[in-house]
Amino acid sequence: MDLRKIYGGTAVGQASQCDTCVYARIIRGYSESEKITMCDRIFEPIRIPFPVRECSDYLDKRLPCVEDLEEIAWILRSKNAGKSAGFISAAALC
């Protein structure tokens, strides 16, 4: 009997990475089979006819972008001139 180990076999699950990607344009119909996925990351948008398991240009649209994080960030100011506000280094504790 010849036993072989298969690495990186068939992926489990049916969810496509395009469903949560910033660059995806997804058009769905009423049936499960009625779905058109377009990728806008590339200069000329292309149609993706299959569920995507991995993508090198994937950007999760559920996470905030840098501009949103900068908008809600606190600006720390110290009362004394010459002193910085915020966290101190580990060397300053010793």
Residues 6+ apart with CB under 8 A from 89: none
Give whole-number Cα distances, 52 to 12, 19, 23, 29, 49, in Å: 12, 9, 13, 19, 9
Residue 11 has what pLDDT? Answer: 62
Residue 14 clears pLDDT 80, i.e. is over it = no
Candidate from 9-13, 61-65, 89-93 with smallest mean pLDDT: 9-13
Residue 67 has what pLDDT? Answer: 86
pTM listed for this prediction? 0.55
User: What residues form DSSP beta bridges with 60?
Assistant: 21
What's the pLDDT tens digit per position in 47-88? 888 888 888 888 888 888 888 888 888 777 767 776 666 677
What does pLDDT average to over the chain? 80
